[in-house]
Amino acid sequence: MSKKKLVIPKFQTEEADAKWHQRNRRSLEAAMEERVREGSALTLQQAAARARTRPVTLRLSAADLEAARAMAAQRGIGYQTYVKMLLHEALRRDAGKP
């Protein structure tokens, strides 16, 4: 049995947004409960870490980006996570050097 995917539309007003969310509250709650059961919801630690981060833009060569994506895929993680891990390790390693 396939479940119908709930798609949240774009709203013209906050009132329309509130009415739609109220009408679909049970479906939204069920979807959130399913995500929690599947383990895809953020943990409190992940949410706290995300709150302490800032988005940045980096320009990388296409070759470096593809290499990062391939290496991240081998580890089963996203390439942005992999790049952050590399940067963190390099900063920690170089912090002890003058």
Per-residue confidence in pLDDT tens, the chain, 98 aa: 446 677 888 888 888 888 888 888 888 888 878 777 776 556 666 666 767 778 889 999 999 999 999 999 998 888 998 999 999 999 989 988 65
* The pLDDT of residue 2: 47
Neighbouring CB atoms inside 10 A of 55's CB total 4
What are the tokens at 40? 């895809």
How many CB atoms sit inside 10 A of residue 96's CB?
Answer: 6
Structural contact between residues 6 and 28, judged by C-beta atoms closer than 8 angstroms: yes
0.85 surpassed by pTM? no
Cα 83 off chain centre by:
15
* pLDDT recorded at residue 1: 43
CA distance 24 to 6: 9
| CA dihedral over 51, 95, 75, 62, signed as positive or negative | positive
